[in-house]
Amino acid sequence: MTIFESIILGIVQGLGEFLPISSSGHLIIVPYLFNLKPHSLSFDVALHLGTLCAVGIYFFSDWLKLIKQGFLSLKEGTLAGTSERRLFWFILIATIPGALAGKFLENNAETAFRKPLLVALALGGFALILYLAQKINKGTKSLSDIKLRDAFLIGLAQSLAIFPGISRSGATIASGLFLNLKKEEAVRFSFLLSFPIILGAGILKFKDIIIECQNHAFYFLAGFSVSALFGLLSIHFLLRFIRKYSFNLFIWYRIAVSLLVIIVFILRKG
């Protein structure tokens, strides 16, 4: 890997983690399209830790409130109170399906699921699901209105992100839309929900990252830093973009990239 490649992959991760286009999918198809040497899953996780920093920084005050209310709920033994109190526990509960999927499908995530053609099909197929979710969304709920059932269903959708090309943010946003969350609220919940799942993946892979980082520290640091910077930019962009526009830009983008990868796959015969 070169420093240029680590920077490019950092940009891909930073933009793809929060936009509904699948960062993990792009980290597979970008090297495939440009004939770059495949990188390790440990490097993927290091890039994800960059976006963890981004969402932690951007929503720092939100997380302070959520954690404070979470501890108060334990101290007082009740969920009654501010909406942040329930939201804290809903986020933790919604993280469970994704954590279990990551645990039990880890080996497949590193091998069988990382095929460019499968990623292309997932990109295109899920574009249709995002379109349908947007089409039927009534936009009647805010985050203060969601119930435990809603949070758990969004968490189940997040577990689908174990398949590169589905998109963690795309799955959680789409499920939020299906549950009639307002667009901005679905996006916001998706961003908040990303923090514990990325943190958990980082902790599990931390030893592998440290071992590999000993020989490639500069590349890891460059990818991590660029990922964090572009993660901040993509969060800010999407929160503003979705106030005025639909998700159609991302839907058409997914379809276009899916077709491109399929065409390249056919021309190269795999």
Tens of pLDDT, residues 145-165: 999 999 999 999 999 988 899
Mean pLDDT over residues 19-30, rounded?
93
Tens of pLDDT, residues 187-201: 999 999 999 998 988
pLDDT at position 61: 94
38 DSSP assignment: P
Query: Sorting pLDDT into bands at 50, 70 and 90, what band is 7?
Result: very high
- Whether residue 270 has pLDDT greater than 60: no
Query: Residue 62: exposed, middle, or buried by beta-carbon count in 10 A (0-12, 13-18, 19+)?
Result: middle
Query: Residue 196: exposed, middle, or buried by beta-carbon count in 10 A (0-12, 13-18, 19+)?
Result: middle
Structure-token pair, residue 257 = 């990239």
pLDDT at position 194: 93
Mean pLDDT over residues 174-197, rounded?
95
What is the Cα gyration radius of the chain? 18
270 DSSP assignment: -
- Scored b (16 or more CB within 10 A) or e, 241-265 reads bbeeeebeebbeebbebbeebbeeb
Q: What mean pLDDT is reported for the chain?
A: 90
Dist CA 228 CA 206 (whole Å): 17
Between 45 and 112, residue with greater pLDDT: 45
Tens of pLDDT, residues 220-249: 899 999 999 999 999 999 999 999 999 999
Mean pLDDT over residues 120-137, rounded?
96
pLDDT at position 83: 86
